[in-house]
Amino acid sequence: MQRLIIDFLNVTESAAIASLPWVGSGNKYEADRAATSAMRLFLNEIAMDGIVVIGEGEIDQAPMLFIGERVGTGIGPAVDLAVDPIDGTTSTIHGQNDAITVIAAAPKGSLLHAPDMYMEKIATGPEAKGAININRSLEENLYAVAEAKGKKVNDLTVIIQERERHQSMIDQIRTLGGKVLLFEEGDVIPAMSTCIEHLKIDMFIGIGGAPEGVLAAVGIKSLGGDMQARLLPRTNEEYERCKQMGLSDPKQALTHDQLVNAEDCLFVATGITNNMLISGIRQNNNKFITKSIIIHGKDKKLRYVETEHFCK
């Protein structure tokens, strides 16, 4: 997998740059189309036998990379891919922070294969690995994380997306004395923030997209943290689709290893606009300057990459 790092970095950088003209445009379709087209183009140039096992599109939902789509030259390592050409499309088209382009990859058969649907998620960093349990109450998880980290609950900071569906959790955390850090869009980086020591975030919890959940799970695993999840099918059709993809119990609690069952995994993301880990694209005269992060599960290192792209 390591030899694919630069190839995937080229993919995320190219997709991010392709989306730049649509920052602040209000045009979601064109922003998605531009990023997806660039991602597909450059993925198909990589010497690999890749398959999109979880993403934001089904085969009939252009312009997204669809679940089950094969990418790469077909010659090379067999790779499972989780992709999001733009995590934070609303942020992108409104000219706001927290938009990235992101890919996660692992050997074939290692990533959760599931439809694009809602997913319940909980994550924490290395210090509290093994303490969280999605089957327990929020209060029990808060006390377990606090104990593992040698803290009191009122010393904890929990990051959660600002959504009406999360209000009861937000209220409960604050009632117990914990602090809540709210974010608006894109939950991949916020989930991973639990593993970045200087950000001082103890736990992530909430309901969001399944593709973003798997993307975050790869990053968190690569940084030594812990994550659990549960798919939330809302219709019989979604439930049956999960079963067709190999989940005998679509509503089961998913351990971290069920989300990503490989240490040899990659996470690559490029900023479109600023977020808590990397800044967005800057344009300076005849060049674009991108900031990216690269994480390889085997070495447990977070690498920051700045690239200057000279206009042709």
For 161-215, give the DSSP string.
Answer: E--GGGHHHHHHHHHTT-EEEEE-S--HHHHHGGG-GGG---EEEEEEEHHHHHH
pLDDT at 301 over 90: no
Q: What is the pLDDT of residue 257?
A: 96
Q: What is the pLDDT of residue 60?
A: 46
pLDDT grade for 63, boundaries at 50, 70 and 90: low
pLDDT at 64 over 80: no
pLDDT at 57 over 70: no
Report d(CA 238, CA 114) in Å as an integer.
10
Q: What residues contact residue 188 under an 8 Å CB cut-off, 6+ apart?
A: 84, 87, 100, 102, 212, 215, 216, 219, 269
Report d(CA 185, CA 247) in Å as an integer.
28
pLDDT grade for 58, boundaries at 50, 70 and 90: low
Q: What is the pLDDT of residue 61?
A: 56
pLDDT at 129 over 50: yes
How large is the average pLDDT for residues 91-116?
94
Question: DSSP of 63-80, one letter per residue?
Answer: TSPBTT-EES-S-S-EEE
**Which residue from 119, 218, 125, 214 is spatially nearest to 161, judged by alpha carbons?**
119
pLDDT grade for 300, boundaries at 50, 70 and 90: confident
Please report how many Cα atoms fall inside a 13 Å half-sphere around the Cα of residue 219, on the Cβ side: 30
How large is the average pLDDT for residues 68-78?
94
Least confident of 24-28, 65-69, 108-112: 65-69
Check: CB of residue 200 under 8 Å from CB of residue 119: no
pLDDT grade for 59, boundaries at 50, 70 and 90: very low
**Residue 93 bridge partners (DSSP):** none
pTM (2 d.p.): 0.94
**Which residue from 98, 99, 133, 138 is spatially nearest to 15, judged by alpha carbons?**
99
Report d(CA 186, CA 91) in Å as an integer.
8
| Average pLDDT in the chain | 93
pLDDT at 62 over 60: no
Residue 217, SS3 per DSSP: helix
